Structure 1
Amino acid sequence: MNSLLDQLKQYSTVVADTGDLEAIGRFQPQDATTNPSLILKAVQSGHYDDMMDRLIDTVDQHNLSSDQAVTEVADRLIVAMGQLILRQVPGRVSTEVDARLSFDVEGSLDKARRLIALYHEAGVTKDRVLIKLAATWEGICAARVLEQEGVQCNLTLIFNFAQARACAEADVYLISPFVGRILDWYRQAEPEVAFEPEAEPGVQSVRAIYQYFCELDYPTIVMGASFRNVGEILALSGCDRLTISPALLDTLDQTGGKLERVLVRSSQRTPRPSPLTESEFRWLMNEDAMATEKLAEGIRGFNADQQTLERMIRERIG
């Protein structure tokens, strides 16, 4: 019998949640997602020192200030890692905008356009890249503009239904609702509760978003993310896409048994409501302590890793 991973690929597009090229080559996902934490981990491995030195040499020729040089090397590094990943996957790579721009529409647009321009310089067309933005109100507004410009986006750090709905209303290409980080919050808030995968709040959140998008005929792709265990993944089989860490991909690949499809597109259609306003969006987020806390925590975490990466670059520049 085929492994759970082979069976899962029949129902959901599998995406590798890693910058590890060996793992990507082994599991042969359709796409791959990256973020500052994954890029930092890859760079800290020491496997990309030569590439880093070449990028620094290239940037040195532009006569930039120290801060400008660090930013330029960081951008070129992210794109260079994306290029390596694209050699391993037939689909797309998600490349993240600096988390410090999560509340800056124009800043996010400038950075996204710069990343796309660097990919273009490297011969990578924009149809192979997803620009990844945090699903703040400002991130969603920036994504709306980018989508209109033909640059498709992946909105990440989604913990609340209002975030998902606002993304669909902005015609965003893909969203990444998180599962495991939601479970983390509820385990801390309700330590006495033993959450089975089927009943996990994160799993239920993704299912609700998926069904809502189906019933209202939104084309936005739902990609479940941030998994803590295989049970969560199996409980979302049939979701449009699932981005999975190498450790859990390995478990799925090594496990047999029968996998049942859980999520199936509904033929029922419901009229769409008026789009959320900014004030409605912010109020719904304010009323959700889990989403507010996890979104802020995620942005801070990505920012911390981005700054660590930039310190490494600064030290290497000398």
Structure 2
Amino acid sequence: MSSGSPDKRRKMESALNQLKKHTVVVADTGDFNAIDEYKPQDATTNPSLILAAAKMPAYQQLVDQAIKYGIAKGGTEDEQVANTMDKLFVSFGLEILKKVPGRVSTEVDARLSFDKDEMVAKALKLIALYEEAGISKERVLIKLSSTWEGIQAGKELEEKHGVHCNMTLLFSFAQAVACAEAKVTLISPFVGRILDWYKENTGRKSYEPHEDPGVLSVTKIYNYYKKFGYSTVVMGASFRNTGEVKALAGCDLLTISPGLLAELSQDHSAVTEMLSVEKAKACDLEKVHLDEKTFRWEHNEDRMAVEKLSDGIRKFAADAVKLETMIKEKRLTCPCEKKKSFPNRGEIFHFLLFS
């Protein structure tokens, strides 16, 4: 016997389940229970999370092992600290990969954001550390800032080395176009951070989902990519409310916090596919090409994107400096040769998964 009419069954279905029919839902969380519940495919780390984790007693074995590695590599103090930093980032990535079936994103030092060659070299060094630990580069995404130099580094890594890249701190259409032309694997355009900027810099304090500037930005990027057949995948990120999420139903991937996932699971309103390849093909968009000069001008014309990109780079760079300072201090007292119990893996995942 039927459990009810089709209309009633649809009303009972959560907005989250409806959303999953249109897009890949990724849990943007460090909550271990939420990770088990929502089965995320991928995870990421960033300098801020590594810094915070490295200060906690539970993670000292990882820190000590990384310091021991850096000392063993030799060189100047700065070289040893740099090697320690690389080892520490990869060590956390390795632990995460034991939990998730997909890929981990490991970020290149934000202080290299304007040096293409140094970003490439750092990325290859990180990949080598993963491979030394038995992890194929196919399971790693290298995170790069979406500066012109970062995008060109991504292009070289993808073309010449087969290294997959995740372009982060992406706020402008110019950045998105350049990433598509570089044929990088994935971009992470922000939604909520764009909304934050508009609230802070205009007299307007609220937006409906269909007019949310972050939603409009990602929608335009998605439509442009699909209309012109680019292979780069779009993962909307940084949501402030469920309205933003539902307004981007159909995007390749959406990474969503546990709080918003819970709201969506309790929401039984209809979720409509807002983005699709078919709709994108019908959009009135013109294909553009951006050389370096054009990219810099177009990006510069977007005040929001310029400010949010530079702010993001500065904050990650500042945390990297703090982490280096902590490592230098610990090198003086590190019991590198002493054996300690390994930190509880669940604690590591709880703190680091899905930044």
TM-score by length of 1: 0.92
1:73 matched to 2:87: no
The residue aligned with 2:150 is 139
Give matches, 1:153-164, under 5 Å: 153-164=165-176
Aligned equivalent of 1:90, options 81, 101, 115: 101
Distance of 1:277 and 1:133 partners within structure 2? 19
Distance of 1:108 and 1:261 partners within structure 2? 38
For 1:12-55, what per-residue CA distance to the aligned partner results, in whole angstroms no more than 9, with x for missing partners?
A: 22334456666534432111232212323333444312221222
The residue aligned with 2:46 is 35
The residue aligned with 2:339 is none
Deviation (angstroms), 1:193: 4.2
Structure-2 change in CA distance of 1:77 and 1:143 (3 Å): same
Structure-2 change in CA distance of 1:314 and 1:252 (3 Å): farther
Aligned equivalent of 2:293, options 276, 279, 284: 279
Distance of 1:23 and 1:309 partners within structure 2? 28
1:15 matched to 2:29: no
Q: Assess if the C-alpha contact under 8 Å between 2:193 and 2:238 holds in 1.
A: yes
Deviation (angstroms), 1:312: 2.1
Distance of 2:162 and 2:125 partners within structure 1? 14
Structure-2 change in CA distance of 1:25 and 1:76 (3 Å): farther
Q: Which has the larger radius of gyration?
A: 2
Structure-2 change in CA distance of 1:87 and 1:257 (3 Å): farther
Deviation (angstroms), 1:163: 0.5
Structure-2 change in CA distance of 1:42 and 1:151 (3 Å): same
Which letter maps to 1:100?
Answer: R
Aligned equivalent of 1:24, options 32, 35, 44: 35
Q: Which moved more, 1:188-197 or 1:108-117?
A: 188-197
Q: Secondary structure at the match of 1:266?
A: helix
1:216 matched to 2:228: yes
Which letter maps to 2:211?
Answer: A
Structure-2 change in CA distance of 1:316 and 1:155 (3 Å): same
Structure 2 unmatched runs, 5+: 1-11, 333-355
Q: Assess if the C-alpha contact under 8 Å between 2:224 and 2:285 holds in 1.
A: no
Deviation (angstroms), 1:315: 2.0
Distance of 2:35 and 2:54 partners within structure 1? 16
Deviation (angstroms), 1:243: 2.1
Give the number of aligned pairs: 318
Distance of 1:304 and 1:253 partners within structure 2? 37
Deviation (angstroms), 1:94: 1.2
For 1:155-213, what per-residue CA distance to the aligned partner results, in whole angstroms no more than 9, with x for missing partners?
A: 11111101101110111111111111111110011233421222110100000110111
Structure-2 change in CA distance of 1:17 and 1:32 (3 Å): same
For 1:250-294, what per-residue CA distance to the aligned partner results, in whole angstroms no more than 9, with x for missing partners?
A: 444555554332211127379974631101000001111111111
Distance of 2:38 and 2:63 partners within structure 1? 26
Which letter maps to 1:314?
Answer: K
The residue aligned with 1:125 is 136
Higher RCO (Cα < 8 Å, 6 or more apart): 2
Q: Which moved more, 1:115-124 or 1:21-30?
A: 21-30
TM-score by length of 2: 0.83
Structure-2 change in CA distance of 1:261 and 1:33 (3 Å): farther
Distance of 1:238 and 1:259 partners within structure 2? 10
Distance of 2:320 and 2:310 partners within structure 1? 15
Q: Assess if the C-alpha contact under 8 Å between 2:69 and 2:83 holds in 1.
A: no
Structure-2 change in CA distance of 1:68 and 1:256 (3 Å): farther
CA RMSD of aligned residues (A): 2.2
Q: Which moved more, 1:50-59 or 1:235-244?
A: 50-59
Q: Assess if the C-alpha contact under 8 Å between 2:69 and 2:87 holds in 1.
A: no
